Chain A
Amino acid sequence: MSAAFPWHRPAAILLLAALAAPAQDVGLAERLYYSGERAYAAKSYPEALGTWQQLLQAAPLSPYAPRALLRMAHYQAEVAHQPAAALALLDRLKADYLKSPVAADGLLLRGTLLAAQAHRPADLQEAMAEFHRVVDLFPDTPAAAGAHEGLGQAYRDQGQWGPALQHFIEAYRLHPEGPLAARALLEAGETLDLMGDLPGCLRLLQRVRSTFPKSPLAAEAAWRMAVRVKLRLLHPPFRLQGPWPEGRQKWLKTPTLLASDPAGALFLYQNSLDQASRLVDGALSPVGASVSGARVLVPTPSDDLWILTRNSLVKDAGNPTPLGALNAITGARLDRWGTLWVVDSKTPAITLFPADGAPRTLPAPMAVALAPLPTGGVALASDTDRSLHFLDAEGQPHQSVPYGKGLPAPFKYVLALASDPVGDVAALVDGGDYGEGVVVYGPDGTVLRQTTLKALGLSGRFTSLVLDHSGGVILCDRRNDTLYRLD
């Protein structure tokens, strides 16, 4: 019996295509196709591609021709990482084999590649058109669910939560089992949170856990749920768990910066070593080149770490690239479009460095720290107007929270900002009547948890922090060369 989705309704398409081609061509094409499959499975990619190319020349009308094209496109996209080459093959598939049963998968892959290439919201239009085509032309195929998911992501990337939610839900309805369904459900839950429906979000995350308990996404849903419940509903008071990893004191060399990627991996920078490292199971492994005077760590989706100094950007092991006139960089983030957002304590603007164009600026208060938000926007702290600003994906402010609002007393400075993937923001603060402390804000600017370091009995020189996937805060103390965890 055929695999994951054995029932089908429009049955005759393949048969019609097969009957249209001469029988001997079909036999040859079938043998060529499977010969290519064998080579591909053995990772003999040139042989596989050559065989499929031969198939396309010898039997272009056979039902195996579009299948070969799709396999070649997958190779270019996933193995060779040549999306342009993949798109060229998919263009041919779309133009010549739209009635083929694999056309839906081809269009879906094309939409996905186009979406990945987009550098700004408007670039998504062609990808979205492709996804809509899959939904309209092939509503009964599994690809339709994938297309709905693609549309959901595209709308979410454009900041349109309503249609995003609708398409994620539709993706789940059309494919209620399997990894795509779990992902669509998780995305729908996250979108509900963006829309301000926390109970709805939690219910869907629980559904991910209950329906797909063995999926990796169940674990993802579990921590996202747990963090939200802990921070936004229970608000337990902070307590000092102690040095972190447990029992490790004075084991670092002047740690000054911390950062975490969406998966929760922790990066830190040791000033005395001029070196950034990844912390895995209590052990440090160096990442990138030696950089002196790092001010910001930016983990990237490709698992690299970008380091910003006072006035430049260092990618991988490359040389520093000056970032225009900026010379007092205090914060940065890399957005979904590949654009680097940078703030500078002497510049009243956010400077955007797109992946494929000239830098531009967005007016903003002079900022001492910046943290990314799941909305595509950022939270930035400005000591100048003593406010925490929440900006949307366009850089437009939608909320400002004065320093000290919701606290027993105001503070004067923000030393560092951090955020988690569910939109909570932690600030390391100092000065004023409040003094040195940690404040965690919800996505709506509400104070969720707070504590002064004095209340915890902590003393040192704290310069950075991160929020972990358990709702705890990790602090970096450069004076004592130690990390601490608050829970």
Chain B
Amino acid sequence: MRLRPLLLLCLLTAPLLRAQDAALKDTFAQAKALWATQGDRVDATARFEQVLDALAPKAATLDPAWTDILCQTYNWLAVLDDRNPATKARATTRLQALIDLNPDFDVDRTLTSQRLTGIFDRLKAAKLAQVKLTCVPEGGQLQVDGKPAVLLARKFLPFGPHTLTYIHPGYAPATVSVDLGPQDVKPVPFTLTRTSSTVTIYVQPSGAEVFLDGRPLGRTQGQAGPEALAIAVPMGLRPEDLSAGFVLDGLKPGKHDLELRAPCYRPKRLALDPSFATPFADHVLEPIRLEPSRATLTVTSAWPGGELFLSGEDRGPLPAKALQVCAGAYDLAVRFPSGGYTQAITLAEGGSLALEVKPKPRLAFLGLDGSQDFPGRDRIQGLLAGLGPRLKHLAFQTARPGETPQAALTRLKAAHDAELFLLATPVPGPAIHEVELQLSTPEGETERLIVKPLEDDPLGNLIARLNAHPTLIEPSLGATLLDLPGIPGPWVLSATEAVQKAGLKLHEPILQVDGQAVADRAALHRLLEATNHGSVRVLQPDGPPVDLPILREPLELPLASPRFAYPAVLAQLRLQALGARGDAANLLKLEIGLALMHFRDYDRAIEELRDAHLGTAPGIGQGTLDYETGRCFMGLGLAYRTEALQAFRDALKYPQATLFGPDGPRVAPLAQQSLEDLK
């Protein structure tokens, strides 16, 4: 980026330049004093030369004050040169440079000799003619040949045709054409016609956007000068607290709405009644103060290492407590060492928002590969780039503007800045009607999906899959329940010893849970899901209520389900595993192993499974883990036959272990069959 070092250079050199300006003015003053009070021509000339050397190279860009100093310098040097025979000839050159720099500048006739003044007048008359301007009303702006010019009563212009335009807010501009020749002194009168009112506003803070009747007019800028003193003081302000006057020009008869907006300030609307425009006149409003508009934001996370960004601006590490920010809309992002969190937030003025965030896998849309055009290209690209708000469990980001998909992939992989990548590639053919979406993890687990750019919602299915979250834990009463036709409630087929001891009767239905009737297993499940305490009171026919604890039973991740995008599932599991400990961590290893089995990545699945240890309770447990490990070894081929046999033998040690979930098939007969297959 070239701008950045340039900006840095400007910032570093600005104080230096200001110091140089002061020194140059001092040199200029010393030069004048040396000649005027001491008659030291040599030193005075040397100092004027210093000023000239500093200003002449940038004469075209000098502001009016420095231009005037440069003009005076030429004048002084011409006078000094003229007094020294050795430099006398150079005096004329100085005067010519002065005329070229500012044709309207007149030499100091008290300082300059009559002879030299005559030379100056002759030089000027050789190229320039004079116009005498009269302007009614005064205080407007002059343009000469379409360019802004300093408005003076007398102006010198080169020979030839010129167009002079006089502009004043509230008046119709007037234009006069003149053709100037040698010795001409032409009067140019401007009398403008009033066409509207003007309103001048001074705003605190400067930089506010100004809208009149909804139309943007620009921003207030700078600082007010002494002219605003009279209106600033009564409000306890200084003129420099206000912006420079901003003139609302062209105010036609009728009511007008004035609106001022500034970041971090409450927008202000003012109604300008018809009296401002009837009759036409110039008005100055009282200073307008915008009220600050702020909100409080708190962002915390149980995950370490988060860093908060608000609309791209780094706001420091988490926790961010009671952060004072401008009210308004933001793209909130938290970057974690792995994963991220994004959310579009709107902070109401005076309001507060507290977020407890946890890292989500970051999905990076790398772009649409290739530049070949096809029907629907812009549509599909736009839909993909706008995927973020439709994703529930993923933080979304896109490649940088102009970045190729490959470059984005390389950058994001190197920086570990994404857990998922999405690349779109047109499917080649006589005509392109399909786009392949490739969803992959940095580790390489990939799934592809074909979409048609012109179909109704090409990304609907992808989004549904990305948003689908497999259920890996379900609440349970520790009993196997059946829905039997004609039985009023889930029927207890079997239960753990503890649950039977607690009083749950086998071969009877459950009629009520916490006083609510349960028609079937699904209704019971919903009740357990909704319960926020650890146990429920269960009622069966002809018996007292029984208090049973709610168990959290693990489920196996289903493989090959079209409901899930498995790279996203895997990314989510890996992220969860980073913060998991104990049983939860072991269970996540099993789930990650299963997700890898989905991709037939048996080597890495075994790496996950062999480090995990689960319990021996009925349901998903160590037997399940051993059985899945055996299947992975089988997937690796005969080389791992011995290990597969051992894994299946291990699985047989847990006769109560099941697949899928606590009510799935028992592992034992499947492990036994696998052993026989391997023999």
- A contacts, CB < 8 Å to B: 1-2, 4-9, 11, 15, 18-19, 23, 26-27, 139-140, 145, 162-163, 165-166, 169, 173-177, 188, 192, 195, 197, 199-200, 202-204, 206-207, 209-210, 222-223, 225-226, 229, 233-234
Contact = CB atoms under 8 A, between A and B. Distances in A.
Contacts of B484: 222, 225-226, 229
Contact of B449 (A7, A27, A140): A7
Contacts of A162: 669, 672-673, 676
B559 interface: yes
B611 interface: no
A166 B631 CA distance: 12
Nearest to A166: B673
A199 B494 contact: yes
20 contacts: A1-B458, A1-B461, A4-B562, A5-B562, A6-B449, A8-B447, A163-B677, A166-B673, A169-B670, A177-B563, A192-B665, A192-B669, A203-B480, A203-B665, A204-B665, A206-B480, A207-B663, A210-B483, A225-B484, A229-B493
Interface stretch (B154-162, B394-402, B428-436): B428-436
B461 A11 contact: no
B430 A202 contact: no
Interface in B445-485: 446-452, 455, 458, 460-462, 465, 480-485
Given A195-B669, A197-B669, 17 more contacts: A2-B450, A7-B566, A9-B447, A19-B428, A139-B600, A162-B673, A163-B673, A165-B669, A165-B670, A173-B560, A177-B561, A177-B562, A192-B669, A203-B663, A203-B664, A203-B665, A206-B482
A199 B493 contact: yes
B659 interface: yes
A8 B669 contact: no
Given A165-B670, A203-B665, A209 B455 contact: no
B663 A206 contact: yes
A8 B666 contact: no
Given A163-B673, A210-B522, A176 B458 contact: no
Nearest to A218: B483
Q: Which 8 A-B pairs have the closest CB atoms?
A: A1-B461, A162-B673, A203-B663, A11-B448, A176-B558, A7-B447, A166-B673, A206-B482
A27 B481 CA distance: 57
Contact of B507 (A5, A26, A233): A233
A218 to B, nearest CB: 10
Interface in B410-438: 427-430, 436
Interface centre among A173, A202, A207 (most CB of B within 10 A): A173
Given A9-B447, A203-B663, A222 B462 contact: no
B521 A206 contact: yes
Interface of B: 427-430, 436, 446-452, 455, 458, 460-462, 465, 480-486, 491, 493-494, 507, 521-522, 558-563, 565-566, 599-600, 659-660, 663-666, 669-670, 672-674, 676-677
Contacts of A209: 483
Nearest to B428: A15
Contacts of B560: 145, 173-176
Contacts of A207: 660, 663-664
A6 B665 contact: no
Contacts of B677: 163, 166
A199 B663 CA distance: 10
A197 B449 CA distance: 41
A1 B452 contact: yes
Interface centre among B451, B491, B562, B677 (most CB of A within 10 A): B562
A9 B448 contact: yes
A197 B447 contact: no
Contact of A1 (B448, B460, B522): B460
Contact of B430 (A4, A15, A23): A23
Interface centre among A1, A2, A222, A229 (most CB of B within 10 A): A1
Given A139-B600, A203-B665, A210-B522, A7 B483 contact: no
A7 B563 CA distance: 10
A195 B430 CA distance: 56
Given A199-B494, A210-B521, A7 B562 contact: yes
B370 to A, nearest CB: 15
Contacts of B672: 162
A101 to B, nearest CB: 12
A200 B448 contact: no
Contact of A199 (B460, B480, B565, B673): B480
Contacts of B507: 233-234
A217 to B, nearest CB: 14
Contacts of A4: 562
Contacts of B521: 206, 210
Contacts of B665: 165, 169, 188, 192, 200, 203-204
A139 to B, nearest CB: 7
B559 A174 contact: yes
Contacts of A177: 561-563
Contact of B562 (A6, A26, A206, A223): A6
A195 B565 CA distance: 36
Contacts of A203: 480, 493, 663-665
Given A174-B560, A203-B665, A8 B494 contact: no
A329 to B, nearest CB: 37
B482 A229 contact: yes
Contacts of B451: 1
A35 to B, nearest CB: 17
A141 to B, nearest CB: 10
Interface centre among B448, B565, B566 (most CB of A within 10 A): B448
Contacts of B486: 226
B672 to A, nearest CB: 7
A211 to B, nearest CB: 10
